[in-house]
A and B are shown apart, each in its own frame.
Chain A
């Protein structure tokens, strides 16, 4: 207990809080800007941690990490432009609520509550169950990753706006895009047409920006062509979520945070996968599904608590095993090591003080993120009052600059523009962009782990059924995939 108090006093200095606020603010900004990635922000602030002595630098990076995941939801809700891949699912209900229902304040309040709840929940899990969850995460081998990916892909049945068949078609396109480039499992190039750019694969960020931001611009242009634009006057009375919303979303928050924490602690999976799975689960468990896709607060809550709760989860393998699950935690791991903290199995034994300091810092980072989010909601929401004739050109410019700056690549910009046009026509045909996005996110995870499993088992498919975790996920996937077929029959039976 003395150690905890000691750690608490070490974190609670004015300097630490100052850098925490700076880090979180930079994080929210980077998260909200499409194309600026968490990794880029961390790499930029990393050298600053040298000049800032002690734990302050680490605290700043933690704030940035939390803030960036939250920041993505702001543009996702207000502009249908997910600032990070993790917030793509937030657009599903966030944008309709903010724009069609004219409740941007409510949408942001729900998302800020959900983000903070998810972050705090997962940090508590990290503190209480880190060693236990780490041992579960280590159980994940290639068959389990494959099954998790298939489980994720199975949810296209619930996120497709039009017919399920069209959703599946979109997903197939996404899966195909994921195969482009040098295949690390065989060393062969696929669909590259001999071009250098495609040999590295099509990067995901340009497609995400094109299919959401640019597509939405085209839709808005079409809807508003020739119309006189009045001034939008949306007043935000309360930045806190209403009691009714809290009551409605609470089960979703808890469920999504649990899923997110778990997905976060499995190395190699992150907020992009988690938010979609949580969204799908929220819809599956909801009694009244009619409002999903039209501005249901549960949709926002699911996606945002699902992606912010990966933060605590992601630190589980980092701190207990010394193994980072993604690029962002790898950078933070590097920063910890620079400051003489060597995460790994020995950390908990030798340096309990450091461990508690990281725990407390992460908790503060989430709380500061929430506080900053709530206090800025009124500022953010004013974006919806900007007349569309000013807003749309700004979004287009932001999309182009953001795409270019992501990889400093001109071909990426062309990919983004093409994705924007394709996305527009997919919208017209009711095909649904989420299918494509899910296909791209999960395509290589599914494929690489499928071939990898077969390499391990010498080509025997039995590896997928002899393994309990894998088996459970695959069964769940089939149940979810076939639900549109048997659900009507079941309903008829019980009536």
Chain B
């Protein structure tokens, strides 16, 4: 019987502690724990990025805890909707991903970047053109020439039809007027890396982080990245822009607050995000995990989401029209 009593006592104590911490909520922001909804599974890129940033912000702000909650239902839409509909008081934040700019134009959700206020986008991984090291082409131009000589023969991996790396490949086809075979790997880029390393497919346009060790070992090679500036992880690789092709596709994840969050609250969060993202620990944390860190804070991140949204709106409408 004593055991049961102890259990009841423990429960009572934990319950009362809960009410006490709720009662403390008042005064200057932040005065209680902040929930951060991550619309992806634990352990994925978005999750690691999100947890990394809020961990550092928690240390910087002190006082309160940032509590990550994973809500991967409905391909992430449920979690992103929960953030959009949360009370805009700064105590519910969330991660949103590039799908937020893609899904609305595929009729999958009514949410859009307009429902959020950005705090920081710690990651914006560009699509990198990756092929097997034994392939006969060594740069973008010779690859395009190879594609023109072998129309519809070259197999390019993607992470699912309608997902970002498929769109990147479609954009590539359009830009260079070539045709490839699209092979989906729904479980993600690690499977694509294995397929290219095993020479089952020829290449892909995807976030290069899963390919890093294969590239460094000289098994795969990276020809160019779809970004405006060179990446920190592969500084020797040219961008499509440098080579004269203005095309940029990036998989970003942004820490956001719901629209309508007071400016004072946003200022606190953005200032902290800006501060931690300029530290060497921040860069180190991401680089070590093969993630190319960026530090796009506040309005700049809003802008990035808006620009990408317009790009996908235009491009996906064009594709839909062509019946593809």
Chain A residues with CB under 8 Å of chain B are 37, 39-40, 42-44, 46-47, 137-142, 182-187, 196-197, 199-200, 203, 267-268, 317, 321-325, 327-328, 330-331, 334, 337-338, 340, 342-347, 407-409, 411-412, 444, 448, 452, 455-456
Contacts and interface: CB of A to CB of B under 8 A. Distances in A.
B217 A199 contact: no
A411 B77 CA distance: 14
A274 to B, nearest CB: 17
A344 B220 CA distance: 12
A46 B285 CA distance: 12
A203 B72 CA distance: 10
A171 to B, nearest CB: 22
Contact of A346 (B73, B182, B183, B213): B213
Contacts of B194: 137-138, 140, 267, 317, 321, 323
A184 B186 contact: yes
Interface stretch (B19-27, B44-52, B304-312): B44-52
Nearest to A145: B191
B186 A448 contact: yes
Contact of A196 (B42, B74, B160, B212): B74
Contacts of A334: 43, 48, 289-290
B83 interface: no
A449 to B, nearest CB: 10
B74 A200 contact: yes
B125 to A, nearest CB: 15
Contacts of B51: 43, 46-47
Given A187-B106, A200-B72, 16 more contacts: A37-B42, A40-B42, A40-B70, A43-B48, A47-B55, A196-B109, A199-B75, A199-B77, A200-B73, A203-B73, A267-B190, A267-B191, A317-B194, A322-B212, A327-B44, A407-B71
B203 to A, nearest CB: 14
A42 to B, nearest CB: 6
Interface string B139-177: 000000000000000010001111100100000000000
A137 B200 CA distance: 12
A337 B289 contact: yes
B288 to A, nearest CB: 5
B181 interface: yes
Contacts of B74: 196-197, 199-200
A43 B214 contact: no
28 contacts: A39-B42, A43-B47, A138-B194, A138-B197, A141-B198, A142-B200, A184-B159, A184-B163, A184-B186, A185-B160, A196-B78, A199-B74, A199-B108, A200-B76, A267-B191, A322-B217, A325-B190, A327-B41, A334-B48, A334-B289, A338-B285, A338-B289, A345-B213, A409-B73, A411-B73, A444-B186, A455-B182, A455-B184
Nearest to A343: B213
Interface in B38-96: 41-44, 47-48, 51, 55, 69-78, 81
B195 interface: yes
Nearest to A137: B194
Contacts of A452: 183-185
Contacts, number: 159
In the A-B complex, the 10 residue pairs with the smallest Cβ-Cβ separation, listed nearest first, are A344-B213, A322-B213, A184-B160, A184-B186, A187-B161, A187-B162, A345-B217, A43-B42, A138-B198, A141-B200
A408 B187 contact: no
Nearest to A322: B213
Nearest to A201: B75
B78 to A, nearest CB: 6
B193 interface: yes
Interface string B99-125: 000000010110000000000000000
A139 B48 contact: no
B184 A185 contact: yes
A346 B217 contact: yes
Residue among B73, B77, B155 with the most chain A CB within 10 A? Answer: B73
Nearest to A458: B181
A386 to B, nearest CB: 13
A342 B211 CA distance: 12
Contact of A43 (B43, B217, B285): B43
Nearest to B152: A458
A407 to B, nearest CB: 6
A231 to B, nearest CB: 16
B73 A321 contact: no
A323 B43 contact: no
A200 B79 CA distance: 12
B43 A408 contact: no
The residue in A43, A183, A200 that gathers the most chain B C-beta atoms within 10 A of its C-beta is: A43
Contacts of B214: 321-323, 344-345
Given A138-B198, A185-B161, A321-B214, A456 B181 contact: yes
A187 B164 CA distance: 12
B219 interface: yes
Contact of B155 (A317, A323, A325, A456): A456
Contacts of A407: 70-73
Contact of B181 (A203, A324, A455): A455
Nearest to B47: A43
B93 to A, nearest CB: 15
A196 B77 contact: yes
Given A141-B195, A185-B161, A330-B190, A197 B213 contact: no
A184 B73 CA distance: 16
B322 interface: no
Nearest to A347: B213
Contacts of B41: 39, 327
Contacts of B69: 408
Nearest to A200: B74
Contacts of A197: 73-74, 78
